[in-house]
Amino acid sequence: MDRIKKKILLIDDVEENIIVLRERLEKEGYRTITANDGKTGIELALKENPDLILCDIMMPLLNGYEVMSIIHSNPRTNTIPFIFLTAKAEPKDFREGMQLGADDYITKPFDSKQLIKAVETRLARKETFEAKTEELKQSITYVLPQELKTPLAAIMGFSHLLIEDYSQIERKRILEIAEDIQLSAKRLNKLIQKILFSAKLDLILKDPEKLRELKTHKTENPNKLITETAVRIALGYDRVDDLEFEIDNTPLQIAEAYLKSIISELTDNAMKYSSKGTNVKITGVQKETEYCIYIVDNGKGISDKQIGMLGEFMQFDKKDSEQSGSGLGLSIVKKLILLYGGELNIESIPKKQTMVKLTIMVQDNGNKE
């Protein structure tokens, strides 16, 4: 991290505090800008776009909480790390600051090493966030147009052929072209539906009432649902014989439609990234109040680094693989599991095996919701 290029905004109505902070930070190589009240601090934040803000809480006109609320409500400044530096040390004050979105809370008199460590930590996290955001932007810019363009190009190309040469094309060939158009249209529709479903899940995750309502949904017969769903996906790959099941039949605390979506996406990935003739095993095991589902394929696998980067619109080894994808399927699975307070873990050995583990709560018969 290049400290010389990092700009820190100091907001405090006590000039002596500003002087001490500025000297300590500039000694470490940071650039500083200062404000003696909240109003000026907000104006400087908008004008200078600092990399981090250190702000006192007890100030006239606007206190620190109000300053942070205004800064975080503006799209231009809402990602700037915000650290409170104050004499207030009551637990309720700490909770209030964190609930409003503070990144850290340092009490006066502060320890210089503690201050610099907090600043370094928040700036490092900001750099990591910005790097991931930029990577996601680049992935969306490349992956999404490609995923939309491929089926759309087929639809346009084949339909153009029908329009231009319909009188000269044999009836059998017209049917083949129509089937190709329909196949591409289905692929395009599937992608659009995934994008819309993913957006819907984002909204549900922010709705406490909807989340509570979802906890009342159950899957009474997971064995039947998992088996039938996986077989349906395997049929599309002509790989039903590659499936192996070992599933405990315990009622689960998850909607049937959502569990079906999860199994569909994960089975599809297992089939897509492993070869015909290799085993894909699906196991369901009850462990007290939890139910674990394991989906193991003997395919190409991915590295630990790639596992950490998995998300929407992310692709790996595109040049080395005939398979493509938007990354939306796994992202949807993560969100569905999160809705029910479960967990998703992936372990993989490159060029050998991938194991996906889901943890879902067993149905609580005493739940009266």
Q: Examine residue 133 and state whether it is found in any structural domain, yes or no.
A: no
Domain boundary residue, one of 206, 225, 259: 206
Residue type at 91 in one-letter notation: P
Identify whether residues 157 and 224 lie together within a single domain.
Answer: no
Q: Say if CB 267 and CB 295 are below 8 A apart.
A: yes
Q: Say if CB 348 and CB 288 are below 8 A apart.
A: no
The CATH number linked to 83 is 3.40.50.2300
Identify whether residues 228 and 327 lie together within a single domain.
Answer: yes
Q: Examine residue 270 and state whether it is found in any structural domain, yes or no.
A: yes
Identify whether residues 198 and 218 lie together within a single domain.
Answer: no
The CATH number linked to 196 is 1.10.287
Supply the DSSP symbol for 52: E
pTM, to two decimals: 0.54
Q: Examine residue 279 and state whether it is found in any structural domain, yes or no.
A: yes
Q: Say if CB 243 and CB 231 are below 8 A apart.
A: yes
- Integer Cα distance of 117 and 119 in angstroms: 5
Q: Examine residue 134 and state whether it is found in any structural domain, yes or no.
A: no
Identify whether residues 25 and 165 lie together within a single domain.
Answer: no
Kindly state the tokens that stand for 179: 């089937």
Note the pLDDT of residue 4. 63
Identify whether residues 193 and 262 lie together within a single domain.
Answer: no
Write the burial class of residue 25 (CB in 10 Å: 0-12 exposed, 13-18 middle, 19+ buried).
buried
Locus of tokens 């400290």: 3
Q: Using DSSP, state whether 347 is helix, strand or coil.
A: strand
* Domains in the chain, number: 3
Identify whether residues 252 and 182 lie together within a single domain.
Answer: no
Identify whether residues 268 and 158 lie together within a single domain.
Answer: no
The CATH number linked to 357 is 3.30.565.10
Q: Examine residue 165 and state whether it is found in any structural domain, yes or no.
A: yes
Domain boundary residue, one of 110, 126, 158: 110
**Helices of type H across 206-316:** 208-214, 222-236, 256-272, 304-309
- Integer Cα distance of 139 and 27 in angstroms: 39
Residues of the chain where predicted confidence (pLDDT) is lower than 70 = 1-4, 88-101, 132-147, 305-327, 364-369
Q: What is the dihedral of CA 111, 117, 119, 123, to 10 degrees?
A: 180
Identify whether residues 95 and 222 lie together within a single domain.
Answer: no
Identify whether residues 330 and 261 lie together within a single domain.
Answer: yes
Residue type at 233 in one-letter notation: I
**CA-to-CA dists, residue 361 to 172, 220, 227, 294, 336, angstroms:** 53, 13, 19, 15, 13
- Integer Cα distance of 159 and 177 in angstroms: 8
Q: Examine residue 59 and state whether it is found in any structural domain, yes or no.
A: yes
* CB-CB neighbours of 199 under 10 Å: 9
Q: Examine residue 41 and state whether it is found in any structural domain, yes or no.
A: yes
Note the pLDDT of residue 209. 84
Identify whether residues 157 and 43 lie together within a single domain.
Answer: no
Identify whether residues 62 and 98 lie together within a single domain.
Answer: yes
Q: Which helix (H) or strand (E) holds 124?
A: helix 112-165
Supply the DSSP symbol for 252: B
Note the pLDDT of residue 99. 56
Q: Which domain holds residue 350?
A: 212-361
Q: Using DSSP, state whether 352 is helix, strand or coil.
A: coil
Identify whether residues 77 and 176 lie together within a single domain.
Answer: no
Note the pLDDT of residue 160. 85
Domain boundary residue, one of 206, 236, 261: 206
- Secondary-structure percent of the chain, ordered helix, strand, coil, rounded to 5: 55, 15, 30
Q: Examine residue 125 and state whether it is found in any structural domain, yes or no.
A: no
Note the pLDDT of residue 159. 87
Note the pLDDT of residue 132. 65
